[in-house]
Amino acid sequence: MKVTIVGTGYVGLVTGACLAEIGNDVFCVDVDPRKIEILNNGGVPIHEPGLQEMLRRTRAAGRIQFSTDVKASVEHGDIQFIAVGTPPDEDGSADLQYVLAAARNIGKYSNGFKVIVDKSTVPVGTAQQVKNVVEEELKARGLGSESHGFSVVSNPEFLKEGAAVDDFMRPDRIVIGIDDDHAGNLAREKMKRLYVPFNRNHERTLYMDVRSAEFTKYAANAMLATRISFMNDLSNLADTVGADIESVRRGIGSDPRIGYHFLYAGCGYGGSCFPKDVQALAQTARENGHTLRVLEAVEAVNRDQKDVLVNKIVKRMGEDLSGRTFAIWGLAFKPNTDDMREAPSRRIIEALLARGATVRGYDPVAMQETERVLELDLAERPDDLNRLHLVGTQHEALKGADALIIVTEWKEFKSPDFGHLKSALKTPVIFDGRNLYEPESMAEMGIDYHAIGRPHVELDRSQDGK
């Protein structure tokens, strides 16, 4: 089938590559010539395991192309996926300007019946806005739905960064929202044909009305964010009452009604989805005269959770951190990605620098993106920026540091050489935002270990001068 993907960001690029992998003829368009140049030169503007190899195969087979030619992209695809960004506005609502601009272009250049698929995460009612914009453009061209018909479909993505290719190729569900009319019936047949390869073993597609499909995406992310904030809130109480949140997690996760997924305490969630989707759904509620009190709390807990590690550092080492150096392992918001959007590391680094500390940071893949975003974050704080050093290895980050801070749970951090770690640090202190190690084992090795919601074993610090 001939498919067009509007937007070569995270969702668009994964969608385009995977649809090309199973044999479709895919045209990816973007208004950013830099991205297109990178892609046409064999590069990938994002880090996602398996994506570059898939793009190399599909490009060599002639099943995927990249261009800034909007007119050609509209003429190419019978199915037009809109996969552009929906960044949050100041009030937390999703900014739909890029979605509606893509819709306007489809209406402007449409050359026949089009299935217009909202793949971007959008608020309830967006499909109707897209429909109105396309109709306006067709009307301006003197065309009607009889000659240039279309149907707007909601097909939200459920991709985890770091596992997106596998999630797309082996989905647990495919949600499709379609109008119950003649155009919708045509669209349903095309979407069914497109997704047949993903339903070979059993039917994974869930058909519903458009507004319910739009709602489903936000509801899914809101539920996952709620589980994270719930455990983080409990972890802070566990710190106070002396309970072990890991034991609690195992105790409640063993209940099949609850399960273990997204029940790990940590230093807060980030990324491109949970923060903005929670905000957008809460804003949608406010606009409709409702208050989603649970989600308001979820957001507040997550905001405060990003300060928990800094609070532990201040309690251990004092408010004034001048002259102190901290090693940070992990900068991206989660493993297997270079995404720094809403990453807890940004808040932690800014807070440490503001207290006079020096920071030595390392991440396996997010170094370039970290440099870019922190230069923007600290543009008006040049003195602080001068005390930030991004280094090439995890061992280099430790040299001369007063303590190690773990922010992202990359695999290479899970079983380090603790002997080397102790010798490289000025004092053997770890602040672990992902609970990678066992407190008792750390104490046995003479490491002063501070985790999230886990018992802290006091060591004799009479020799470290702290």
Active site residues: 273
Answer yes or no: is 173 a known binding residue: no
Count of residues in the chain = 466
User: Is 437 labelled a binding residue?
Assistant: no
Tokens of 67: 């261009």
**What are residue 329's DSSP bridge partners?**
362, 406
SS3 56: helix
Report how far residue 250's alpha carbon sits from residue 263's, in angstroms, rounded to the nearest whole number: 9
Pairing mode of beta strands 403-406, 429-432:
parallel
Residue 2 among known ligand-binding residues: no
Q: Is 403 helix (H, G, I), strand (E, B) or coil?
A: strand
**Cβ–Cβ < 8 Å for 392, 358:** no
Output the DSSP codes for 231-279.
Answer: HHHHHHHHHHHT--HHHHHHHHHTSTTT-STT----S---SSSHHHHHH
Q: Is 466 annotated as a binding residue?
A: no
Is 160 marked as binding a ligand?
A: yes
Ordered DSSP codes for 153-184: EE------TTSHHHHHHS-S-EEEE--SSHHH
- Burial environment of residue 450 by CB neighbours within 10 A (0 to 12, 13 to 18, 19 or more): buried
- The answer to the question of whether 265 is labelled as a binding residue is yes
Residues 336 and 50: their CA atoms lie apart, in Å, by: 11
341 among the known binding-site residues?
yes
Q: Is 266 annotated as a binding residue?
A: yes
Is 121 annotated in some ligand binding site?
yes
For residue 151, the SS3 value is strand
Asked whether residue 263 is marked as a ligand-binding residue, the answer is yes
Bridge partners, residue 404, by sequence: 327, 430
CB 427 within 8 A of CB 421: no
Provide the pairing of β-strand 25-29 with 325-329: unpaired
In whole angstroms, give the CA distance from residue 156 to residue 175: 7
The verdict on whether residue 43 carries a ligand-binding annotation is no
Whether 32 contacts 110, CB under 8 Å: no
286 labelled ligand-binding: no
Residue 306 structure tokens: 């990003």
Residue 269, both tokens = 């969630």
Q: In what order do the strands lie in the sheet with 25-29?
A: 64-67, 25-29, 2-6, 79-82, 114-118, 150-154, 174-177, 205-208
Question: 413 among the known binding-site residues?
Answer: no
Is 15 a known ligand-binding residue?
Answer: no
Name the helix (H) or strand (E) containing 4.
strand 2-6
Helices 293-305, 210-241: axis angle to 10 degrees equals: 50
262 in a known ligand binding site: yes
Helices (H), 41-81: 51-60, 70-76
Q: For residue 207, what are the β-bridge partners?
A: 176
Quote the DSSP letter at residue 460: -
Is there a binding annotation on residue 158?
yes
Q: 176 near 207, Cβ under 8 Å?
A: yes
Q: Tell which residue, 21, 24, 27, has the closest CA to residue 4.
A: 27
Annotation: binding site: 30, 35, 86, 121, 158-161, 217, 262-266, 270, 276, 334, 341
Annotation: binding site for NAD(+): 30, 35, 86, 121, 161, 276, 341
Annotation: binding site for substrate: 158-161, 217, 262-266, 270, 334
